[in-house]
């Protein structure tokens, strides 16, 4: 039954995608982030839903009369250069066969990211994009939070299988990145029942993240919460709420959860932590030796034998930064950091221009919450191999589209007095000329 419902829902969207490419972009985000087919039990788990939606979206984009150009902003231009650099490092990869397989996956993600950048343009589409992200991950957050409550926190929460967030640590980070988006929708929803639902979703998602037993997630949610409090206009109220609620979450979790979190300060005794440090040193040594890095998929014994301090302790990068460094060299890492900085600066520009205006409050609020999401991802991503996880790239697309709308409104307002002055001057000229 699940397979039938999932299939019907996705195929029912295809006529809508043909009418509007933006619907295709949103459906792609839904399928790529939520992986709804993973909730099926039969044929739906093997159906190429993402491929079908991508093909129909591209066809719709070709037929559409809507603008098709890619917004050329510091964010999009940096992303283009980063993708081009990946195409330079791949032919020089240390593991050509495995690198090509990963390159194929990453280029599909980047292609559709550019499509999302092209089709998400209006405020309505931006709002829908945020709702899609919240629903896609909030579904698992609620599910995981209820599971944590039922188990008393004694069992770990995992994400959907065979996805970017199947791992408990990646799943927790995805929820942490999404919580500020839930808060944004909570702030801008008028319906009280919708607000209550979003409030419950935030609480259960936070509990689900704790139930993952992810130490990186704990650090990420702490730093992100501090940032949200700092940027809040109601510091006293929000601070009081955090002081009251945070201890309840921690007291609910069992002793073995607390013991695992305590290992953060004693990482030398943790084999997992030392394995990550070994992988980071390998990535650094590799980048020093090779300008172009090692290409995709360098976490293999042969590469560790050449560059790792402990060649027998083979680990994935477990860091977005060292993943970029090892696979694409110092230039690749610089481009990735520049992409994050460009996104942050664009969000700050929106906050500065829209923060004090009621008609642009939605834009300022969204930019602030996306900055909170970036903070969470920047901290939590330091311990996870999520360089190509598509959620942050969709947030970049939301920032690009929001800034374009704010810029357009400001230009229109600046041009309006000039247009009025020109019209009055023309009227006076005609009046002076007489009949």
How many angstroms separate the CA atoms of 338 and 75, rounded?
9
Average pLDDT over residues 328-344: 96
Q: Is the pLDDT of residue 373 over 60?
A: yes
Look at phi and psi of residue 139 and say left if phi exceeds 0, alpha if psi is from -120 to 50, else beta. alpha
Q: Is 355 a residue whose pLDDT tops 80?
A: no
User: How many H-runs (helices) and E-runs (strands) does the chain carry?
Assistant: 17, 0
Report pLDDT for 261.
Answer: 63
Look over the chain and give the mean of its residue pLDDT values, rounded to a whole number: 85
User: Cα separation of 222 and 243, whole Å?
Assistant: 12
The answer to whether the beta carbons of residues 300 and 97 sit under 8 Å apart is no
Confidence class for position 351, pLDDT limits 50, 70, 90: very high
How many C-beta atoms surround the C-beta of residue 90 within 10 A?
Answer: 21
Provide mean pLDDT across the span 200-229: 84
Q: pLDDT digits over 224-245, tens only?
A: 888 877 777 666 666 666 666 6
What's the rounded mean pLDDT across residues 398-411? 91
pLDDT value at position 215?
Answer: 77
pLDDT at 160: 83
From 183, 37, 110, select the one nearest 390 (Cα to Cα).
Answer: 110
Rg (C-alpha) for the chain, rounded Å, is 24
**How many whole angstroms separate alpha carbon 326 and alpha carbon 309?**
15
> Of residues 242 and 332, which shows the higher confidence score?
332
DSSP symbols for 339-408 = HHHHHHHHHHHHHHHHTT-GGGHHHHHHHHHHHHHHHHHHHHGGGS--TT-HHHHHHHHHHHHHHHHHHH
**pLDDT at site 254:** 66
- Residue 392 confidence (pLDDT) above 90: yes
- 3-class DSSP state for residue 14? helix
Q: What is the pLDDT of residue 266?
A: 53
pLDDT the model gives residue 182: 94
Instruction: Yes or no: say if 40 and 30 are a contact pair by the CB < 8 Å rule.
Output: no
Reported as a single tens digit per residue, the pLDDT across 301-330 is 999 999 989 988 888 888 999 999 999 999
Check: pTM over 0.85? Answer yes or no.
yes
Percentage with pLDDT > 90 across the chain: 50
Give per-residue pLDDT as tens, 261-307.
656 655 454 567 778 888 999 999 999 999 999 999 998 999 999 99
| Three-state helix/strand/coil letters over 59-128 | HHHHHCCCCCCCCCCHHHHHHHHHHHHHHHHHHHCCCHHHHHHHHHHHHHHHHHHHHHHHHCCCHHHHHH
- Residue 328 is encoded by which pair of tokens? 């694409």
Q: Is the pLDDT of residue 86 over 80?
A: yes
Question: What is the Cα–Cα distance from 250 to 252, expressed in whole angstroms?
Answer: 5
> In whole angstroms, how far apart are CA 334 and each of 3, 329, 342?
43, 9, 12
Residues 144-177 pLDDT 10s: 999 988 888 788 888 887 788 888 888 889 999 9
Asked if pLDDT for residue 119 goes beyond 60, the answer is: yes
High-pLDDT (> 70) share of the chain, %: 86
Residue whose C-alpha is closest to residue 208's, from 296, 112, 312, 137: 137
CB atoms inside a 10 Å sphere around CB 352: 11
SS3 at position 185: helix
CA distance 35 to 261: 30
Find the helix or strand (DSSP H, E) in which 427 lies: helix 390-433
């Amino acid at each position: 039954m699940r397979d039938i419902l999932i299939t019907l829902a996705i195929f029912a969207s295809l006529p809508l995608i043909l009418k509007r490419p933006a619907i295709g972009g949103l459906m792609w985000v839904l399928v790529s982030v939520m992986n709804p087919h993973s909730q099926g039990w039969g044929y739906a788990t093997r159906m190429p839903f993402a491929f079908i939606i991508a093909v129909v979206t591209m066809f719709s984009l070709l037929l559409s009369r809507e603008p098709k150009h890619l917004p050329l902003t510091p964010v999009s231009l940096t992303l283009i250069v980063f993708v081009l650099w990946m195409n330079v490092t791949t032919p020089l990869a240390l593991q050509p066969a495995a690198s090509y397989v990963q390159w194929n996956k990453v280029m599909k993600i980047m292609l559709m990211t550019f499509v999302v950048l092209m089709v998400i343009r209006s405020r309505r589409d931006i709002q829908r994009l945020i709702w899609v992200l919240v629903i896609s991950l909030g579904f698992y957050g609620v599910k995981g939070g209820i599971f944590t409550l039922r188990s008393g926190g004694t069992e770990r929460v995992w994400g959907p299988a065979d996805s970017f967030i199947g791992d408990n640590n990646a799943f927790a980070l995805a929820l942490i990145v999404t919580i500020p988006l839930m808060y944004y929708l909570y702030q801008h929803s008028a319906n009280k029942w919708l607000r209550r639902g979003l409030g419950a979703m935030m609480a259960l998602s936070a509990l689900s993240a704790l139930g993952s037993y992810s130490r990186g997630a704990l650090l990420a949610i702490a730093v992100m919460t501090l940032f949200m409090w700092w940027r809040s206009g109601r510091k006293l109220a929000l601070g009081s709420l955090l002081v009251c609620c945070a201890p309840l979450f921690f007291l609910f979790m069992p002793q073995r959860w607390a013991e695992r979190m305590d290992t953060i300060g004693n990482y030398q005794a943790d084999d997992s932590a030392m394995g990550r440090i070994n992988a980071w040193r390998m990535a650094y040594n590799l980048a020093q030796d090779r300008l172009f890095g090692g290409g995709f998929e360098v976490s293999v014994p042969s590469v560790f034998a050449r560059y790792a301090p402990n060649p027998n302790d083979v680990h994935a990068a477990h860091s977005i930064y060292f993943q970029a460094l090892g696979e694409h060299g110092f230039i690749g890492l610089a481009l990735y950091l520049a992409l994050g900085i460009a996104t942050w600066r664009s969000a700050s520009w929106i906050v500065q221009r829209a923060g004090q205006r009621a008609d642009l409050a939605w834009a300022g609020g969204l930019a602030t919450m996306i900055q909170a999401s970036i903070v969470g991802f920047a901290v939590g991503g330091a311990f996870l191999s999520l360089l190509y996880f598509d959620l942050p790239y969709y947030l970049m697309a939301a920032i690009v589209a929001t800034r374009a709308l704010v810029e357009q409104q400001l230009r229109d307002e600046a041009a309006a007095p000039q247009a009025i002055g020109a019209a009055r001057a023309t009227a006076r000229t005609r009046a002076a000329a007489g009949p």
